[in-house]
Chain A
């Protein structure tokens, strides 16, 4: 077997390769330094993804965060409002709870821009709590380089089961305390 492509390495790492192909790859990487390095990097990437704080939290991730970082800041914000969140080494994680009318909604998309209108990120079909009418956006100290001035304009686009679309906009201001 010659060195497989990275897609095969990803499939092996996730245990999604057919058993005979998985065994062939194992026989190969036991004798190949380059493939060992690629497979180690792939595992590191998947571990990093699993440990990363997602931008939009599911209920389970929010509960896990509350357990691992008790006392993190939570800022509620309603459509049309501007709110502020301060992060620092003592409080490295904070949550924005964006409230919106989400009853009967099937899908929510998130779009974030800086004050000049330049796109920061855009996420399609994110987790949301229809009953409570909440979309929870997590922010962490590590994002400080990503938010530009710290002022982020977020628009939630909610599509309901009948295809009707409603937008809610928020201005989220981030302040980062230096260490």
Chain B
């Protein structure tokens, strides 16, 4: 179903269409929130607020061009993210607490298979790529610090890291399917 058909059905108060609208856009908003707000509760907040605004606008027929439903959701996402960031900044200014180390390590909710797959794929990467992934994500080092250790610029470390993650994702996907 196209975005404009979906918008028309929501405007006609088809409840199944509202569920479909949520199913189509909530994961996109969630991903946007995780990237821009860097926290799960904040991303959940964003999903609630954005989907409510979108639903009300579409129901009321306030969407200027129903073909641009996706752009409307993204635009709403950007506005609400900006508001949430401002609110978080204000909260931080008030609280100003000492930072605590809150990385949880240890066996998370994973299976033997997940861990084995991850480490096998990591070891299949060329040595420099594997080291950069390990230093970045398992040893929490910045691109600058890794660059100093390996004799590379920080920008170069980032580029190699992107390439390594792409290969790792490809390997994980292939292993999962096999």
Interface residues of A (CB under 8 A from B): 5-16, 26-27, 29-31, 36, 38-43, 45-46, 48-56, 58, 60-61, 63-65, 68-69, 72, 92-93, 121, 123-125, 127, 140-146
Contacts and interface: CB of A to CB of B under 8 A. Distances in A.
B112 to A, nearest CB: 5
B79 interface: no
Interface residues of B, number: 50
A30 B105 contact: no
Given A38-B169, A63-B101, A125-B149, 20 more contacts: A14-B162, A29-B31, A43-B34, A45-B169, A50-B103, A51-B108, A52-B110, A52-B115, A52-B137, A53-B106, A54-B105, A58-B139, A61-B139, A61-B140, A124-B127, A124-B131, A125-B131, A142-B110, A143-B119, A145-B116
Contacts of B111: 142
Contacts of B173: 41
Q: Determine the main DSSP class of A at the interface with B.
A: helix
B43 to A, nearest CB: 10
27 contacts: A5-B166, A7-B162, A7-B165, A14-B161, A30-B25, A30-B28, A39-B31, A48-B110, A50-B137, A51-B105, A52-B138, A54-B138, A58-B140, A60-B103, A60-B140, A61-B105, A64-B103, A69-B106, A92-B106, A92-B107, A93-B107, A121-B123, A124-B131, A125-B131, A125-B149, A143-B115, A146-B119
